[in-house]
Structure 1
Amino acid sequence: MNIGLLMFPDAEELDFVGPYEVFTMSNEVFELEGKPEPDRVILISEDGNPVRCRKGMTIAAHESIATAPKLDVLLIPGGQGTRTEVNNETLMAWVAEVDKSTTWTTSVCTGALLLTGSGVAKGKRVTTHWAFVDQLAARGEAADVLKNIRYVRDGKIVTAAGVSAGIDMALWLVGQWHGEQHARNTQRAMEYDPAPPYTAAV
C-alpha cells in the first residue's frame, strides 16, 4: 500500500502526524511478527519542500505532488491552511486526479473542505471539526455534514472530525486492509487507550 499524507502551510500537525504514527506503527508491528513491511507511508507537499504547520512545526516532505507514486490511500489534514488551499487550483486538480485510482480518500478535521472543494466528496456524507460543521454545510457541496461523530464513511470517502479523531479513523483503516486483530495490536503498541485527563485523574 502507498499511503500519501498531504501537507501544506498551516496544516494542523496532529491531523496527519497522528495517522502517520498509526500507519508506521502498523509496519513496526508486522516487523516484530517477522513479516515484511507492507506499507509505504509518504509525506507529500505541493513542491516537495518542507512545510511549516499551524503550531510552528516544520516537516520535511518525502515527495512532491509531481513525484509522488500512485497512491492507494490519500489523507488530507485540516488546519487554517485549508481555507487558502481550497482555492489552489493546482492542488485541487491533483486531489481530484489522485482520487480516481485510490482505494480510500480521506480527511481529518477541516481537510474535508479540500475533499468537497475538489469535487471528490461532492454529494457525500462527511464530518469535520465541530466548529467548522456549519461553514462546510453552508457551501452546499456535501450531501450532509454530520455532527458528534468521530469518523464517517461514504463509499471510499472517509472523513474524521477534529485532530485526534484522525487516529481513530487511521486505526479503522488499518483494520480494513490488515484485519481487525492487527489494528488492535497496533493500537496496543501505541498505548492508545483514550482516557481524558480529568477522567483519568479521578
Structure 2
Amino acid sequence: MQHQPMHVLLLAFQGLNTLDLNGPIEVLGSSAIAEEKYFTITVAAADEITEAFEHVLIKREISFAELLDNKGKLLSKYDMLIVPGGPPQNVQKVIDAGDEGLMAVIRGWVDAANEDKRQRWLMSICTGSGFLVASERGAEQTEVVRKRWVDAGKIDAYTRLVTSGGVSCGIDCVLWMVGELIGMEKAVKIATVMDYNWEFGSVPVTQGQII
C-alpha cells in the first residue's frame, strides 16, 4: 500500500545531549523500516556546526533562519517536530541568549499546524520541554520530564504533544509514537533490530499492551 512519508524535523542547539538527538534518528531511520520510507529526517540548527555536550560535532541540513524565511511557509512541510534536551544550564543558556531562532521555529511550526488544519506531533525530550515553555507553545511546566514519557494529548486543535524523560526515554517515546502511527508490530521490529530492551510501564495509556 502506498503512503506519503512523514517529514520529521529535529532541532539542534549548542550543548545538547547526543542521545536525545540520535535516539529518535536511530528509531525513525531504522533499517527495519527503511524500504517502506515511512519517515524523512531533517536536522535544523542556528549554526552550521553544533557541538553536543559530549563534544560530538553535528552538521545541520537547514538553518532556523531558512525555516523562518517567507513567513515560515517551509515549516508547514513537517509533520513531526522533535526538540531534544541537554544539561539544564545549556538549555537555559540558549533561552537567555535572546536568540529567538529555536523558539520562533517551535511557535511557527505549531501555528502552521493550526492554519493547515492537519494533525501533527510535537515531542520534547528531557529538558527540551524548557524550550516549549519559553516559546509559549506546549508544556506549561517541566514536571513531565521526570516521567519516562507522557502523552499530553492535543495542546491545540491540530497539535499532539508528547514529552519524555531524558536520554533513553526519548527512544522509548519515539518507539511508542511509531506504534501509534504505523503499527506496534513495526515498532517492535525496530526495537528488535536495535537490540533494545523496550518495556511498557503499568500506566493507563500502555497497560495491557504486550510488546
For normalisation by structure 2, the TM-score amounts to 0.74
Q: Could you tell me which amino acid in structure 1 is paired with residue 83 of structure 2? A: I
Consecutive unaligned residues of structure 2, counting only runs of 5 or more, are 1-5, 68-73, 114-118, 154-159, 200-211
Is 1:114 aligned with 2:131? yes
Partner residue, 1:43: 43
Is 1:95 aligned with 2:106? yes
CA positional deviation for 1:36: 3.5
User: SS of 2:143's equivalent?
Assistant: strand
Consecutive unaligned residues of structure 1, counting only runs of 5 or more, are 125-140, 196-202
Partner residue, 1:86: 95
CA positional deviation for 1:181: 0.7
Paired-residue identity, % = 30
Structure 1 residues 190 and 184, CA, compared in 2 at 3 Å: closer, same or farther? same
Q: Could you tell me which amino acid in structure 2 is paired with residue 29 of structure 1? A: A
Is 1:192 aligned with 2:199? no
Please tell me whether the aligned partners of residues 144 and 165 of structure 2 are also in contact (alpha carbons under 8 angstroms): no
Partner residue, 1:137: none
CA distance in 2, matches of 1:85, 1:59: 17
CA distance in 1, matches of 2:65, 2:38: 24
Match 2:150 to one of 149, 152, 163: 152
1:21-32 alignment runs, 5 A limit? 21-25=26-30, 28-31=31-34
CA distance in 1, matches of 2:134, 2:84: 14
User: SS of 1:105's equivalent?
Assistant: strand
Count of residue pairs the alignment pairs up: 170
Partner residue, 2:12: 7
Q: Could you tell me which amino acid in structure 1 is paired with residue 93 of structure 2? A: T
Partner residue, 1:18: 23
Q: Which moved more, 1:66-75 or 1:164-173?
A: 66-75
Alignment root-mean-square deviation, CA: 2.0
CA distance in 1, matches of 2:93, 2:57: 18
1:133-181 superposed Cα distances (whole Å, 9 cap, x missing partner) = xxxxxxxx32x72475200111211111111100000101111111111
CA distance in 2, matches of 1:86, 1:99: 19
CA distance in 2, matches of 1:110, 1:92: 14
CA positional deviation for 1:194: 5.9
CA positional deviation for 1:86: 2.2
CA positional deviation for 1:23: 0.6
CA positional deviation for 1:119: 0.9
1:107-146 alignment runs, 5 A limit? 107-121=124-138, 124=139, 141-142=140-141, 145-146=143-144
Please tell me whether the aligned partners of residues 86 and 118 of structure 1 are also in contact (alpha carbons under 8 angstroms): no
1:17-58 superposed Cα distances (whole Å, 9 cap, x missing partner) = 111101100xx2234xxx4312101111124x1100111000
User: SS of 1:29's equivalent?
Assistant: coil
CA positional deviation for 1:89: 2.1
CA positional deviation for 1:99: 1.9
Please tell me whether the aligned partners of residues 46 and 63 of structure 2 are also in contact (alpha carbons under 8 angstroms): yes
For normalisation by structure 1, the TM-score amounts to 0.77
